[in-house]
Each structure stands twice: as C-alpha cells, then as structure tokens.
Chains A and B, each alone.
Chain A
C-alpha cells in the first residue's frame, strides 16, 4: 500500500501552496489535524469566557453583571460551543493526527473530503456566534433547545439550527472518513484485534456519529418547520407533542455524550500502558466493553426525561438500562487500574492527567448512577447536582483525556519536548481548581439550587462563591497550557523518535516530528 501523492507525481515536492492557501487547500491529515486542534482551542476559550461570565454573575446572590435573558443565552451557547466546537473537534483532531500513524497508513482514506469536514466548522461557528448580534439575541432555551421555548425564540434560533446542520454534515463526513480509513487502510498484519485502543474507540465513536447525527439533523429540521412553515410536530393543538422532541433529541443526545468520552477512553488506554511500562490489561475485554457501552448508550435516552412524564414501566426500563452501563465502564476502570498494578510507573504530565481522569471520571460515573435512580433523579433534575455530574465526566473526563493526549503526542507532532515542570504545574492547577469549581456544586444541587437561573437564595451564597473562585482559577490555568504548547512548538529539547520508553504503537517508529506523509510504504505488523 505505497501511496501516490498527486503533486509528487507531477513535480517533486515544490508546489505546495504556501501561507493561508496551504491551510485552506490542504489534503494532509496532519495539517487538518492541527487545524482541528487550534479551532477547538479557540472555541474552548470562547466557551470558557461565557462560562466565566456565568460564574461572575453567580459569584454572589442578586443580579449584578448580566440581565437574565443574556444569562440564558450564555448558558445555552456555552453548552453548544463546548460540545460542538471544543470537545468534538479536539477528538477529531487527534483522530486525524494519530489514526493514520497508528495503523500505518499514508493519510486518511478521503483526503480532500477531510479538508471539507474541517472547513465546514468555521462557517458553522460564525453562524452560531453571530446569533448574539441579531434581534432577539442568541438561542436561550438551553443547549437542548426544547420546544415550545425554542419555537418561540427570535431568529438566533434559526441561525443555531442551520449551524447545527452544517456541523452535523461535518461530523458525518469526518466519521465516514475515519471508519473507512480504519477498515480499509491498516498496515498488512494489523488485524482488528491488534489495533491500538485509541483506534478502536474512534472506530466505535464514528459508528455512533453516523447513527445519531442525522437524527439530530431531523429533530432540528422539524423545529425549523414548526417555527417557520406552520407544521405542528411539537404542538399539542395540532396532534404533536413537545415531549416528542425530547425523545428524538435524546436519541441523539445520549450517544453524543459517549461520542465525547470514548475517544478519551482510547487516549487513556494508550497513556497508562506507556507510563506503567506494561501492556494494557485485558485488551479484548476493553474492546468489548467499549462496544457494549456504545450499544447500551442507544437505549437509555429517556433517563434525561424522567420528570417529563412517562409510564412507570418506561422509567424502570431506562433506569436499569442506564445502570447497566456501569458494568462495562467498571470493566474499563478495573483494566486501567490493573494495568498500573506492579507497573514501573513514572508520572509525567500525560500520566498525571490520565490518573486524574480515572479518579474524577469515576466520580462523575458514580454521580451518574445516582442520577439514574428515578426517585433521586426526580429530586435532582435540573439542579446543580446534574451540572456537577456532567462536568465531572466532560471536563475531568473528556477534557482531561484531551490534555493527556496533547502532552503525550506533542513531542511527536512538534519534534520538541514540552516543558515538563510547567506541564505538571498546569496539571495541578487544573486539578485543584476543577474540584474547587465543581465539587461544591454537588452540595448546591442536593440543597435544591436550580440550574440556568442567574439569581439564587441566600443559603447558596458560600458554595457559589467558592465555585466562582475555582472557575476563574481554572480558566486562567488554561492560559498556561497555551503557553506550554506555544513554547513546545517554537523549540525545546529535541524529542527522539521513541519519545516515551514504554510507547509500543506504530507512531513511535516514525521520526519526531513525524514526516509530512506518515507511512509512504506500509510497515509490517507481526
């Protein structure tokens, strides 16, 4: 499977477009991966500024900084931007950089379409963010855009709907590309059960994306026609039902949360064996656990809707199905721990983030099981307990996975070692401020503080103040990450091909930085 590169055939390597045109026209998986990662970081800061504005407002009771309408726009846009702009593109960036290198391929299967998958994101982000400046402002019904609220909102909602359409098209193209690359472009000898875990988790994630992104497109299309073309899908007077939107939305929405966590599982499953200097414990059970989680994730959606009204039988089914997910997840946590057992461990920054991930993601998983219990969920629905739960799985889960992977592969990408001391400082600041921000929100939620409200009763004041201080600390700590990355790109100690002594996957056989076209001739995997 040697690769033919169109421009190489024509005339050596001499006519790459340069400057901005290089990035706009590129068909190279590394260029595209880099763009995904930078786009994601910019969106991370954008959504972060919104989060900090929310926390500043909540620093003390009363209304002081923003008005309630704008507050709701911020919570909505924070969610949409972080999910569709920050977390998902970051993982696609990792997929672009790593999958061809880890399976011994020259590039992605559809290199030109790969470019389009990325370049659909900036227009979508522009569309979404400019909704702040139109009459009526940005969507303010929560990221779940439930009708009837979302049917009544101003034109910002239509812009969000079209942005979701474009981002969905990008995700579907990206995931078809990833599936095809993994199924069709592995090096000779790399059977499915020899693939690195990161590649496995992305294969399963990509299947989930192809399964549910079109359903979201359908859901928002029905919103669009209800808003503008007189249909009555979500209007009881016409025989429709607003709860139907919730069912269709969460059929997308629940697999979506696994779309955001499975690639992080993959990264952690690469990092832990490397720094424990032992092969991953229970590789095949890891693969089956990942697949089970993905399958189960498609039949638990209504646990987001326990208070929306449903028969007791339905509640019981969705409760037990949800709790069942704890089994394969437990298998994974067990395997990571068993991998570390009696390993000769060192604690470089990627490993710190991976261990932080295991601790805190497991906590988020526990609060997830608690939320799954119907009588408890009826109490904590729409409180800060839920906010705390999903930030433990999305920030200390997905985001910690991203940080772990970024530190792990930065030397391979840039050819330089990052600053280990600053990396560790970044980890500890992130770890401490994260818990300061979100741990106290469990207490706020249990005490009854509702989410998406800019003001609160006096009794919640202390914990909110702590949480806001933590949030600002967390936000500022991320600027340190930016500094570490920039410093690493500009220079630093030369990274060897095999940066980490325990690295066993194919990318460590390539020089650092990795050559522009990964494997021109395929390696043979024994």
Chain B
C-alpha cells in the first residue's frame, strides 16, 4: 500500500515531470532497502523445464538472502518486441540486478543496459557483454559426456535416441558430446536425432520418442523441456536420461540419471557481488566443476562398475584431465576435424554447427 500512495503523491506532485520515472533516477539504496532483483522468463514457470529451473534459482536466492533481497519475475515474455519493454520496466522499477534467461533477450538486454548504467544485467546463453552486462551459461555438454558413456554402455542395439529442439550450437554440442562419449564405449554406436522444432510440445516430444524406439533405439536422451520422452521410455521398457530437472517421478525405472540445471549458486553469487559492491562484468561458462549442472542419482540400472566409470569421467572433467571434445574427432564425412592431442577451443564450441561421426541428424 505504501508504494501506491508514494506513486500517487509523486504523480500529483510532478505531473509535468512524470517522465523522470522512465528515465530512472537511481536512488542510492539505503541499508534497509532490500536489493531488488528481476528475472525475465521465456516460458511459464510451470513448464517443468528451462524456465522452471531458473525459477528454482530465483527461489534459492530468496531462501539465501531473505529480507535482504526482493525478487520479481515476469513469465512468458516473448523473444521479440516485448522483451525490451519488460526489461526496461524492471530496471525503471528499481531492480538493480536483472537476469534475462533466454538467448533471444541478448540485444534487448544490451539496449536497456545502455540507458540504465547503474543497473547490472545478466544474460543467459548469449555472447555479448557490456560494462554492466555479464553473460553466463552452463557447459551442459559436460553432463552429456557422462550421459553418452551411460548410453554407449547400456544400449544393446547401439542406437541412441536424441530428441532435439532447434539446431542452435548448444543443442548441436550436446548431440556431439553424447555421440563422442558413446562411441568411446561402443565404436558402432549411433545417435539418431529427431528435430521437433519446438522447445516445448509434450505430445510431439513423446511421439518423436516413439518414432525413435520403433526404429531400434533403446536409450533415450533429449534436449527439449518436458518429461514426455522419458514417460514413453518407461512405457516401452527402455532406459533414458532426464533433462533440466530430475524426472524420476515420471519414469522411476527408465530414468538412469538426469542432467539437472543448477542456476541457484550462480544467482546467489551474483546477488552477493552486488550486495558487496564487487559486481564486475563476467563471461561465465561454467560446468560440472563449479556446480552449474549436476547429475541426478544413478538408478539401479547402473551397475557399481558403471557408476564408478561415470564418476571417473566427471572427476576427469572437473580436474581438467578429460576434455569432452578432445581429439581425434571426425565429422560425419569421416574427415578429422580435431587432431589427436588437441581439443576444441571454447570459441569453436560456442558456434558449433557440424556433427561428429556417429550422428544421424
């Protein structure tokens, strides 16, 4: 209520200067004021996938800081003309730290950041930074390397299903990391990809899973948001891996593990930096080592030996002795793209648009 009265008094007192609110006078936060943090989501928080994961991160921030922060989120913000307005509104509203959690928000975030120089912006999965804009992303492919090992080991047919959304580099990387790891165990392994051109259509994801299983796939992985493919895996009695969240509830037998997004620690770290006054532009691309992703507990389908192998891969990635994209890597035509003894650099990984041997996409 206090806020409303404030606003009305403000309006009455400064009808002529009403536009100053838009330009955003930056109040120096007093000690008692909570740090306001805004989140912009591309989907509904109830998608049980990407946006759901980010919202868990937001809740982690609230749990950690309590009254010291006040978080706000806007759901279902379309990538397009609406994004800039929402981000600007959050900034004008006094949010000092704003997380924009989808690639399509990159240019809008940068535009708003130019005006609100004292607000800190954090853009997920992009690559352009500014003095007050950081980017952050997760090395999901590190999890895929473990998943690929599981797939290669557990698939009897050697055919691994991969339900993919849209061919952005992140998805391509995940497919390749899976294929490379699987073929280390089973050189004949093949990753069969079906694109559904949507991040989110449970029915179609499930249908794609059926299409793959009917063609010999006996291990299911996905880069789409819903648990539908795992449910189909459960019904058909094959194994698979959960995406974004632990999906065990939907596939108690089929899910051998899940790649779980863990945005909470990063969000807490960045909020702390703003509170401490130490926030600086960063280009963060973290993985298993920093806890940006984790693997859900292995199911009974994973033997102790296999679990130990997986843990060894994780440990290798964490200590740097194992690179998921270490050579030799051949592309689909069999040409060597990465020589033995070297590994793909981050720049090449960032824009990856080709498939490794063993991928059928």
A and B physically associate: no
Residues in chain A within 8 A of chain B (CB atoms)? none
Residues in chain B within 8 A of chain A (CB atoms)? none
